[in-house]
Amino acid sequence: MYITGSSTAEQTLRRIREIITSTDKVLVILDSDHSKNHVLKELNSYSGLITLGSYIIVEDTIIGGHPVKPHRKPGPMEAVREFFKDK
């Protein structure tokens, strides 16, 4: 099933929550806007949907000097680090 919309829009998140059932295994792959703030918002929005024993995968944490494209603005890796700082 495809849902079209911004990954962080409340309408999109609401639709996703509506289709998840209590017996579903939920895995999330984040691979859209690679700015730190956007990825952090996605992590905060989707982390609660992941089922026990599953994963949330953040694509392209390699960019921003980790170890490629060192001159990019803060991106996925910085978002992951900030997300886990509070956990």
- Write down the pLDDT at residue 69: 76
pLDDT along the chain (87 residues), means of 10: 89 96 94 95 96 95 82 89 88
What ranges make up the beta strands (E) of 1-87? 28-30, 56-58
- Write down the pLDDT at residue 27: 94
- Write down the pLDDT at residue 79: 96
- Write down the pLDDT at residue 71: 72
- Write down the pLDDT at residue 54: 96
Sign of CA dihedral 66, 48, 38, 55: positive
Distance CA 4, CA 25 (A): 21
Tally Cβ neighbours within 10 Å of residue 66.
16
- Rounded to two decimals, the pTM is 0.89
Domain boundaries, the chain: 10-85
